[in-house]
Chains A and B, each alone.
Chain A
């Protein structure tokens, strides 16, 4: 069972770049890495997914080194509205179940 480890919390200021790193040492060959964002009183929302190297979309970038044992979510120029919990996920068993860990609570300050 692939397990993820990520910092419990991070603080940042508006306009800064935020990088959240997740460890997944037991990731399987076919596993993709997915990041979700959750605001208070809402369900999680998909941000980005990747398999290797770098993926970028309108919201974030995801960096995955060659050994794939970790990944880094990069949020450019954060704003107050980026304050949320960010979850890094890899498949649980047979890829059908996503295991959500505790996530990283990002606080963006003015």
Chain B
């Protein structure tokens, strides 16, 4: 069964540093998403991406965040200057249509 692959599985970074979280969506999928889950809290929508542009972003997705599909296969989430409160599990997802997500296994980001 096709999978969404996320790397790294765990990243530790210093506050103020830039991080890039990487995702390889399923190859024929057209919609891409990032969600995050702060420890003990619910999964929250960050951003959706379609046709090489952001479709929708949440209030969380401020100017510190950006997404990119640099080479037609990877889908990245960049946090420019990490804060302690960015520590969370970040999930990438993709879908062929508007629904029917497949999630990746997540990247645990720890900001120290």
B is bound to A: no
A residues at B contact (CB < 8 Å)? none
Q: Which residues on B are within 8 Å of A, measured CB to CB?
A: none
